[in-house]
C-alpha cells in the first residue's frame, strides 16, 4: 500500500545545486494520493472547533481550500506582498534563499477565532512563523500547523514548537 511519501517526487539540484527539491505536484495530480493527504491532514482536527483554515502561499492554498471544505470552515489565504486587494497587515521573514514579506487582510480573522495553519512543506519555518505572527496580531488562536512534508534537518518544526505550536507532518525527508 502506498503512503503519501511515495507520491512525492524528488528533483535533484533544484532550485540550486545540492538541493533535493520535494515536489508535491505529483501527489496533487494523483486522485488517490491527494485524497489521502487531505484526509490525513484534517483527521486530527475533525473533532476540534476550527473557525478558519489559513493556507500559506502558494501550495497551502490548494491544501487549505480542500481541508476547509471538508471541515465546513472558512478559508483565508496569507499571500506574498502586493497580492491582496484590501487593507493588509505585513510581516517580513527569512527564507532558505533570502527574505520576503507576507500579508493578510486585516479583516480576515476576528479575535478569538480558532485557526488551523496549512502548507505543503516545513523547512526552516520562516514562512509559517510569519503566518503565525500575522494571525496572532489579529487575535487568532492557532489550533495547529499541518504540513505534508517536514525537512527536520532545517529546523522548522523545532522553531514552531518553541513558539508553542502543535505541529503535524505526514512525512519527513532527511537532508536539504
- Answer whether residue 160 is part of any domain: yes
Q: What is the pLDDT of residue 15?
A: 87
- Answer whether residue 33 is part of any domain: no
Residue 150's SS3 state is: strand
Indicate if 96 belongs to the active site.
Answer: yes
In whole angstroms, what separates CA 154 from the centre of its chain? 16
Query: Which is the catalytic residue, given 9, 22, 35, 96?
Result: 96
CB under 8 Å to 168, separation ≥6 — which residues?
Answer: 41, 44, 144, 145, 146, 147
Query: Which is the catalytic residue, given 17, 22, 59, 157?
Result: 59
- Answer whether residue 158 is part of any domain: yes
- Answer whether residue 2 is part of any domain: no
| Beta carbons of 163 and 132 less than 8 angstroms apart | yes
Q: How many Å apart are CA 38 and CA 131, to the nearest integer?
A: 20
Instruction: Evaluate if pTM is beyond 0.85.
Output: yes
CB under 8 Å to 31, separation ≥6 — which residues?
Answer: none
* Overall number of domains in the chain: 1
What's the CATH code of the domain at 64?
Answer: 3.40.50.2020
Q: What is the pLDDT of residue 176?
A: 65
Q: Show the domain range for 109.
A: 48-172
- Answer whether residue 16 is part of any domain: no
Q: What is the pLDDT of residue 125?
A: 94
- Answer whether residue 94 is part of any domain: yes
Indicate if 59 belongs to the active site.
Answer: yes
- From the number of C-beta atoms within 10 Å of its C-beta (0-12, 13-18, 19+), residue 87 rates as exposed
Q: How many Å apart are CA 113 and CA 170, to the nearest integer?
A: 25
- Answer whether residue 83 is part of any domain: yes
Per-residue pLDDT of the chain (176 residues), as tens digits, is 999 999 999 999 998 898 899 999 999 999 999 999 999 999 999 999 999 999 999 999 999 999 999 999 999 999 999 999 999 999 999 876 678 999 999 999 999 999 999 999 999 999 999 999 999 999 999 999 999 999 999 999 999 999 999 999 999 999 76
CB under 8 Å to 136, separation ≥6 — which residues?
Answer: 142
Q: What is the pLDDT of residue 170?
A: 98
Amino acid at each position: 500500500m502506498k503512503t503519501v511519501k511515495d507520491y512525492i517526487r524528488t528533483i535533484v539540484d533544484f532550485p540550486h545545486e545540492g538541493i533535493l527539491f520535494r515536489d508535491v505536484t505529483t501527489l496533487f495530480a494523483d486522485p488517490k494520493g491527494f485524497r489521502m493527504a487531505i484526509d490525513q491532514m484534517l483527521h486530527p482536527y475533525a473533532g476540534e472547533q476550527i473557525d478558519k483554515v489559513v493556507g500559506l502561499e502558494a501550495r497551502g492554498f490548494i491544501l487549505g481550500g480542500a481541508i476547509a471544505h471538508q471541515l465546513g470552515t472558512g478559508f483565508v489565504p496569507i499571500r506574498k506582498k502586493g497580492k491582496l486587494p484590501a487593507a493588509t497587515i505585513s510581516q517580513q521573514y527569512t527564507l532558505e534563499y533570502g527574505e520576503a514579506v507576507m500579508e493578510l487582510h486585516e479583516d480576515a480573522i476576528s479575535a478569538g477565532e480558532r485557526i488551523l495553519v496549512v502548507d505543503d512543506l516545513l523547512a526552516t519555518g520562516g514562512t509559517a512563523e510569519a503566518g503565525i505572527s500575522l494571525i496572532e496580531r489579529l487575535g487568532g488562536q492557532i489550533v495547529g500547523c499541518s504540513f505534508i512534508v517536514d525537512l527536520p534537518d532545517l529546523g522548522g518544526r523545532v522553531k514552531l514548537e518553541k513558539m508553542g505550536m502543535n505541529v503535524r507532518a505526514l512525512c519527513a525527508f532527511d537532508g536539504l
